[in-house]
């Protein structure tokens, strides 16, 4: 994304006065959620402030935690270390994967839909960090229960982002458990959304011809 575009996006968010993800009037996070669900063909999106946060949410959304085992195809050293910290064991890749993973950068951002089409796991972790606006990631899913649990993981306190203002339990069957500060900043969300939108546009041409 051009520096001018970045400055424009940041100015828009800062002048709105809404820079925290807990603000009810925030439009940047819902906007990025809609864009990601449209591009990936999934019905639900959870935005988080790191790749490890997204992996945690993808697993917690399926009820996978300490002492459980998951099937993954050759996780890298960082992922293996994080799963070990969670107490989750990685088994040989002989069953359905717990989640699929896509890492986006400027070179492949325009292919998100194509890359997501090949994902078959219940949760799709999309690492947005490579787009250049700081740590950011998302979990995409068609499972409303997985989505609800993952949403519940990313904010401190007994309620989720949609019920914290009323302090009324949205789902009595959801046990809050331990929650983490995985909330994504609207500033980062706005820049990521602009980058993904621009990546989908055809390259502009000047129309000039060479002799």
- Which CATH number belongs to the domain containing residue 102 in this structure? 3.40.640.10
Q: Flag whether 12 is in a domain.
A: yes
pTM: 0.83
Give me the domain span that covers residue 56.
Answer: 3-199
Q: Flag whether 159 is in a domain.
A: yes
H-assigned helices in the chain: 3-16, 28-40, 51-60, 77-86, 112-117, 144-153, 186-199
Q: Flag whether 74 is in a domain.
A: yes
Q: Flag whether 58 is in a domain.
A: yes
Instruction: Supply the pLDDT for residue 41.
Output: 97
Q: Flag whether 206 is in a domain.
A: no
Q: Which two tokens stand for residue 13?
A: 């968010």
Per-block average pLDDT, block size 10, for the chain (211 residues)? 63 65 71 97 97 96 94 91 96 84 96 96 98 96 94 70 61 67 90 88 51 40
Compute the distance between CA of residue 63 and CA of residue 39 in angstroms, rounded to an integer. 27
Q: Flag whether 8 is in a domain.
A: yes
Q: Flag whether 181 is in a domain.
A: yes
Q: Flag whether 209 is in a domain.
A: no
Compute the distance between CA of residue 59 and CA of residue 69 in angstroms, rounded to an integer. 10
Instruction: Supply the pLDDT for residue 12.
Output: 73
| Strand-pair category, 137-141 with 123-127 | antiparallel
Domain count, the chain: 1
């Amino acid at each position: 994304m051009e520096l001018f575009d970045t400055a424009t996006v940041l100015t828009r968010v800062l002048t709105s006065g809404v820079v925290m993800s807990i603000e009810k009037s925030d439009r940047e996070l819902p906007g990025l959620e809609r864009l990601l669900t449209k591009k990936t063909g999934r019905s639900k999106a959870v935005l988080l402030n790191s790749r490890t946060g997204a992996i945690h949410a993808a697993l917690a959304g399926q009820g996978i935690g300490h002492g459980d085992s998951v099937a993954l195809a050759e996780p890298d050293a960082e992922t293996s270390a994080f799963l070990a910290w969670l107490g989750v064991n990685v088994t040989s890749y002989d069953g359905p994967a717990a989640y699929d993973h896509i890492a986006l950068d400027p070179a492949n951002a325009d292919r998100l839909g194509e890359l997501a089409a090949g994902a078959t796991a219940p949760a799709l972790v999309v690492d947005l960090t490579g787009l250049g606006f700081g740590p950011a990631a998302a979990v995409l899913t068609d499972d409303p229960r997985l989505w609800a649990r993952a949403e519940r993981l990313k904010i401190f306190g007994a309620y989720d982002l949609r019920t914290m203002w009323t302090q009324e339990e949205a789902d009595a069957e959801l046990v809050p458990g331990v929650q983490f500060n995985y909330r994504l900043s609207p500033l980062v969300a706005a820049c990521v959304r602009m980058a993904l939108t621009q990546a989908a546009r055809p390259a502009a041409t000047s129309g000039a011809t060479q002799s």
